[in-house]
Chain A
Amino acid sequence: SQQGEEDPQALSIQEGENATMNCSYKTSINNLQWYRQNSGRGLVHLILIRSNEREKHSGRLRVTLDTSKKSSSLLITASRAADTASYFCALPGGGYNKLIFGAGTRLAVHP
Protein backbone atom coordinates (compact mmCIF):
# COMPACT_ATOMS: atom_id res chain seq x y z
CA SER A 1 0.00 0.00 0.00
CA GLN A 2 1.08 3.59 -0.49
CA GLN A 3 3.20 5.21 2.15
CA GLY A 4 5.15 8.43 2.30
CA GLU A 5 8.17 9.06 4.46
CA GLU A 6 9.74 12.45 5.07
CA ASP A 7 13.36 12.96 5.85
CA PRO A 8 14.73 14.39 8.06
CA GLN A 9 12.26 14.08 10.92
CA ALA A 10 13.49 17.40 12.31
CA LEU A 11 15.55 20.26 10.96
CA SER A 12 16.90 23.28 12.80
CA ILE A 13 18.40 26.20 10.88
CA GLN A 14 19.09 29.92 11.15
CA GLU A 15 17.05 32.58 9.41
CA GLY A 16 18.31 33.19 5.91
CA GLU A 17 19.48 29.62 5.38
CA ASN A 18 17.83 27.22 2.99
CA ALA A 19 15.84 24.23 4.22
CA THR A 20 15.52 21.02 2.25
CA MET A 21 13.21 18.19 3.15
CA ASN A 22 12.58 15.00 1.26
CA CYS A 23 9.73 12.61 0.73
CA SER A 24 10.00 9.05 -0.54
CA TYR A 25 7.07 6.90 -1.52
CA LYS A 26 6.40 3.31 -2.52
CA THR A 27 4.00 3.07 -5.45
CA SER A 28 3.58 5.12 -8.62
CA ILE A 29 1.68 8.37 -8.34
CA ASN A 30 0.17 10.90 -10.70
CA ASN A 31 0.78 13.83 -8.37
CA LEU A 32 2.32 14.74 -5.03
CA GLN A 33 1.47 17.61 -2.73
CA TRP A 34 3.21 19.41 0.09
CA TYR A 35 1.37 20.86 3.07
CA ARG A 36 2.48 22.92 6.05
CA GLN A 37 1.09 22.68 9.56
CA ASN A 38 1.80 25.27 12.19
CA SER A 39 1.71 23.90 15.71
CA GLY A 40 -1.80 22.76 16.63
CA ARG A 41 -3.32 24.28 13.51
CA GLY A 42 -4.78 23.06 10.23
CA LEU A 43 -2.85 22.03 7.15
CA VAL A 44 -2.08 24.65 4.54
CA HIS A 45 -1.65 23.54 0.94
CA LEU A 46 1.69 24.66 -0.47
CA ILE A 47 2.15 23.11 -3.87
CA LEU A 48 1.05 20.25 -6.12
CA ILE A 49 3.42 18.70 -8.62
CA ARG A 50 2.22 16.26 -11.26
CA SER A 51 4.08 13.17 -12.41
CA ASN A 52 4.94 14.77 -15.76
CA GLU A 53 6.62 17.71 -14.01
CA ARG A 54 10.16 17.61 -12.66
CA GLU A 55 10.26 20.92 -10.85
CA LYS A 56 7.84 23.57 -9.68
CA HIS A 57 8.27 26.91 -7.98
CA SER A 58 6.03 29.00 -5.79
CA GLY A 59 7.60 32.07 -4.24
CA ARG A 60 10.46 30.85 -2.02
CA LEU A 61 9.40 27.22 -2.45
CA ARG A 62 10.91 24.85 -4.95
CA VAL A 63 9.61 21.32 -5.32
CA THR A 64 11.20 18.58 -7.37
CA LEU A 65 9.84 15.18 -8.28
CA ASP A 66 11.88 12.21 -9.42
CA THR A 67 9.45 9.46 -10.36
CA SER A 68 12.27 7.02 -11.17
CA LYS A 69 13.51 7.28 -7.58
CA LYS A 70 10.02 7.71 -6.15
CA SER A 71 11.08 10.80 -4.28
CA SER A 72 10.32 14.48 -3.98
CA SER A 73 12.06 17.35 -2.28
CA LEU A 74 10.84 20.66 -0.91
CA LEU A 75 13.34 23.50 -0.75
CA ILE A 76 12.55 26.67 1.18
CA THR A 77 15.01 29.39 0.30
CA ALA A 78 16.01 32.30 2.55
CA SER A 79 14.03 30.87 5.46
CA ARG A 80 12.26 33.06 8.00
CA ALA A 81 11.21 32.43 11.58
CA ALA A 82 7.61 32.31 10.29
CA ASP A 83 8.50 29.20 8.26
CA THR A 84 8.76 27.26 11.53
CA ALA A 85 6.20 24.48 11.11
CA SER A 86 5.81 20.82 10.21
CA TYR A 87 5.91 19.99 6.52
CA PHE A 88 4.14 16.97 5.06
CA CYS A 89 4.09 15.34 1.72
CA ALA A 90 0.68 14.01 0.71
CA LEU A 91 0.21 11.21 -1.76
CA PRO A 92 -2.90 10.13 -3.61
CA GLY A 93 -4.42 7.16 -1.84
CA GLY A 94 -6.48 6.04 -4.79
CA GLY A 95 -10.19 6.38 -5.15
CA TYR A 96 -11.90 9.66 -4.47
CA ASN A 97 -8.98 11.99 -3.78
CA LYS A 98 -8.03 10.37 -0.48
CA LEU A 99 -4.67 11.72 0.70
CA ILE A 100 -2.02 9.75 2.53
CA PHE A 101 0.28 11.83 4.71
CA GLY A 102 3.75 11.06 5.94
CA ALA A 103 4.94 11.74 9.46
CA GLY A 104 6.33 15.12 8.45
CA THR A 105 9.50 17.12 8.92
CA ARG A 106 9.53 19.53 11.86
CA LEU A 107 11.35 22.67 10.77
CA ALA A 108 12.59 25.20 13.31
CA VAL A 109 13.99 28.47 11.97
CA HIS A 110 15.84 30.51 14.56
CA PRO A 111 16.10 34.32 14.34
Chain B
Amino acid sequence: EPEVTQTPSHQVTQMGQEVILRCVPISNHLYFYWYRQILGQKVEFLVSFYNNEISEKSEIFDDQFSVERPDGSNFTLKIRSTKLEDSAMYFCASSGPTSPETQYFGPGTRLLVL
Protein backbone atom coordinates (compact mmCIF):
# COMPACT_ATOMS: atom_id res chain seq x y z
CA GLU B 1 0.00 0.00 0.00
CA PRO B 2 1.40 3.42 -0.90
CA GLU B 3 2.52 5.53 2.01
CA VAL B 4 3.92 8.93 2.83
CA THR B 5 7.58 8.86 3.79
CA GLN B 6 9.59 11.45 5.68
CA THR B 7 13.30 12.04 6.23
CA PRO B 8 15.09 12.33 8.51
CA SER B 9 13.28 10.54 11.31
CA HIS B 10 15.18 12.61 13.87
CA GLN B 11 17.01 15.91 13.56
CA VAL B 12 18.96 17.74 16.22
CA THR B 13 20.03 21.29 15.46
CA GLN B 14 21.35 24.37 17.16
CA MET B 15 19.15 27.42 17.65
CA GLY B 16 19.43 29.76 14.70
CA GLN B 17 20.33 27.04 12.22
CA GLU B 18 18.28 26.24 9.13
CA VAL B 19 16.63 22.87 8.80
CA ILE B 20 14.92 21.21 5.88
CA LEU B 21 12.45 18.43 6.49
CA ARG B 22 11.65 16.20 3.56
CA CYS B 23 8.57 14.31 2.57
CA VAL B 24 7.58 12.10 -0.33
CA PRO B 25 3.77 12.15 -0.60
CA ILE B 26 1.71 9.38 -2.16
CA SER B 27 2.34 9.58 -5.89
CA ASN B 28 -1.08 10.47 -7.30
CA HIS B 29 -1.98 12.85 -4.51
CA LEU B 30 -2.53 16.51 -5.25
CA TYR B 31 -2.85 18.12 -1.81
CA PHE B 32 0.03 18.33 0.63
CA TYR B 33 0.21 19.44 4.24
CA TRP B 34 2.51 19.98 7.16
CA TYR B 35 1.41 19.64 10.76
CA ARG B 36 3.36 19.70 13.96
CA GLN B 37 2.88 18.22 17.41
CA ILE B 38 4.74 19.67 20.35
CA LEU B 39 5.33 16.98 22.96
CA GLY B 40 2.16 16.31 24.91
CA GLN B 41 0.07 18.73 22.86
CA LYS B 42 -2.41 18.59 20.00
CA VAL B 43 -1.51 18.09 16.37
CA GLU B 44 -1.54 21.57 14.82
CA PHE B 45 -2.00 22.52 11.19
CA LEU B 46 0.84 24.52 9.64
CA VAL B 47 0.24 24.78 5.91
CA SER B 48 -1.53 23.28 2.93
CA PHE B 49 -0.16 23.24 -0.60
CA TYR B 50 -1.96 22.65 -3.86
CA ASN B 51 -1.17 23.32 -7.50
CA ASN B 52 2.34 24.47 -6.61
CA GLU B 53 1.33 27.14 -4.19
CA ILE B 54 0.34 27.59 -0.57
CA SER B 55 -3.42 27.36 -0.27
CA GLU B 56 -3.69 28.04 3.44
CA LYS B 57 -1.36 28.63 6.36
CA SER B 58 -1.77 29.01 10.09
CA GLU B 59 -0.49 31.83 12.26
CA ILE B 60 2.33 29.51 13.34
CA PHE B 61 3.62 29.47 9.75
CA ASP B 62 5.44 32.79 9.83
CA ASP B 63 8.23 34.13 7.63
CA GLN B 64 10.68 31.65 9.13
CA PHE B 65 8.83 28.80 7.45
CA SER B 66 8.63 27.94 3.79
CA VAL B 67 7.50 24.99 1.71
CA GLU B 68 8.53 23.77 -1.68
CA ARG B 69 7.81 20.98 -4.10
CA PRO B 70 11.10 21.11 -5.96
CA ASP B 71 10.84 18.16 -8.30
CA GLY B 72 7.31 16.83 -8.53
CA SER B 73 7.82 14.14 -5.92
CA ASN B 74 9.41 15.70 -2.84
CA PHE B 75 7.68 18.18 -0.58
CA THR B 76 9.88 20.09 1.85
CA LEU B 77 9.45 22.27 4.91
CA LYS B 78 12.24 24.71 5.65
CA ILE B 79 12.71 26.53 8.90
CA ARG B 80 15.20 29.32 8.28
CA SER B 81 16.36 30.16 11.77
CA THR B 82 15.20 27.62 14.30
CA LYS B 83 14.03 28.58 17.77
CA LEU B 84 13.82 26.41 20.87
CA GLU B 85 10.04 26.41 20.59
CA ASP B 86 10.25 24.84 17.13
CA SER B 87 11.13 21.55 18.83
CA ALA B 88 8.30 19.22 17.89
CA MET B 89 7.28 16.29 15.75
CA TYR B 90 6.60 17.45 12.20
CA PHE B 91 4.18 15.45 10.10
CA CYS B 92 3.71 15.61 6.38
CA ALA B 93 0.39 14.50 4.91
CA SER B 94 -1.14 14.18 1.49
CA SER B 95 -4.59 13.59 0.07
CA GLY B 96 -5.85 12.50 -3.29
CA PRO B 97 -8.33 13.82 -5.83
CA THR B 98 -11.18 11.41 -5.09
CA SER B 99 -11.33 12.04 -1.33
CA PRO B 100 -9.32 15.16 -0.58
CA GLU B 101 -10.61 15.30 2.99
CA THR B 102 -8.85 12.06 3.90
CA GLN B 103 -5.26 12.81 4.70
CA TYR B 104 -2.52 10.20 4.88
CA PHE B 105 0.25 11.02 7.28
CA GLY B 106 3.91 10.19 7.25
CA PRO B 107 5.74 8.81 10.31
CA GLY B 108 7.05 12.25 11.25
CA THR B 109 10.38 13.95 11.85
CA ARG B 110 11.28 14.62 15.45
CA LEU B 111 13.07 17.98 15.55
CA LEU B 112 15.02 19.00 18.61
CA VAL B 113 16.41 22.53 18.75
CA LEU B 114 19.14 23.06 21.34
Contacts and interface: CB of A to CB of B under 8 A. Distances in A.
Contacts of A92: 101
The B interface is mostly helix, strand or loop, or mixed, namely strand
B94 to A, nearest CB: 10
A59 interface: no
Contacts of B98: none
B55 A103 contact: no
Interface string B39-71: 001111100101000011010000000000000
Interface of A: 31, 33, 35, 40-45, 48, 88, 92-93, 95-104
Pick the 3 closest A-B CB pairs, nearest first. Answer: A96-B55, A101-B43, A43-B105
B105 A44 contact: yes
Interface residues of B, number: 29
Given A43-B91, A96-B50, A96-B55, A31 B101 contact: yes
Contacts of B89: 40
